[in-house]
Amino acid sequence: MKPLRKRLETTMLKKCPDCKKLWDKKSKSKSNRCLSCQRIWNKKWRKRRKESGNPVISTKMSRSYHRKYEKAYYSRPGVKEHRAKLMRSYAKDPKLRPKHQARWTLNKALKSGKIKKSPCFCGNKKVQAHHKDYNKPLEVKWLCKEHHPKAEGGE
């Protein structure tokens, strides 16, 4: 007869460290615990997070937590300098330069009042400018966040 370890590997069974039961390794649980023990562990984990002041809402971190984290991260001197350096390099890149110039020209025209935003064809007033041709920076189509990626992908 094969040793227990070999039998466990061939049958794809795993031993739960909490309840010591054997369970099918092919099940949906990604952890080393069986599904019922994993649920118990998750409840305890969420409780610990809530007590520490950092609750988990529907398995996603809260928006306020992300905002605090990003604010702290991007305010670090090294990160701030690196991002500024990247932005300068993007603006100087010959392939991306026409896009940047078109955006700059359009923003100046918006601020001066030469151009005004119009709603998307679906009626949404929160719009973004879509350039068909970057050589004509003031000829834009105003599209909402939903329709803009579709226009970029294939008109």
Is residue 89 domain-shared with residue 132, that is, in the same domain?
A: yes
- What tokens were used for 64? 């306020």
* Pair 99, 149 in one domain: yes
Q: How far apart are CA 138 and CA 117, in angstroms?
A: 11
Identify whether residues 90 and 123 lie together within a single domain. yes
Residue 19 domain boundaries:
4-53
**71 falls within a domain:** no
Asked if residue 99 is part of any domain, the answer here is yes
Q: Does 126 have pLDDT greater than 70?
A: yes
- Rg from Cα positions in the chain: 27
140 in the same domain as 85: yes
pLDDT for res 6: 56
In terms of domains, do 83 and 143 share one?
yes
pLDDT, residue 59, reads 63
In this structure, are 49 and 81 located in the same domain?
no
Work out the pLDDT band at 14, boundaries 50, 70, 90: confident
On whether residue 41 sits in a domain, the answer given is yes
Q: Does the pLDDT value for residue 141 go beyond 90?
A: yes
Give the pLDDT band of residue 28 (cuts 50, 70, 90).
low
pLDDT of residue 129: 93
What token pair was written down for 53?
A: 């002041």
> Does any domain span residue 83?
yes
pLDDT at 10 over 60: no
pLDDT digits (tens, 9 = 90+) for 95-124: 888 988 999 999 999 999 999 999 999 999
142 and 82 in a single domain? The answer is yes
* 104 compared with 65, residue with greater pLDDT: 104
Express each pLDDT in 36-58 by its tens digit. 888 899 889 888 888 888 777 66
Task: Evaluate whether residue 108 is within a structural domain.
Answer: yes
Is residue 96 a part of any domain in this protein? yes
Domain assignment present for residue 66? The answer is no
Q: Is the pTM of this model over 0.75?
A: no
Q: Do 81 and 136 share a structural domain?
A: yes
36 and 83 co-located in one domain: no
**Where do the H-state alpha helices sit in 22-93?**
35-51, 63-74, 77-92
Handedness of CA 52, 57, 63, 64 (dihedral sign): negative
Q: Phi first, then psi: give them for residue 40, nearest 5 degrees.
A: -65, -45
Q: Is residue 60 part of a domain?
A: no
pLDDT at 57: 66
Domain count along the chain: 2
Average pLDDT over residues 7-22: 75
Instruction: Specify burial of residue 144 (Cβ count, 10 A radius: 0-12, 13-18, 19+).
Output: middle
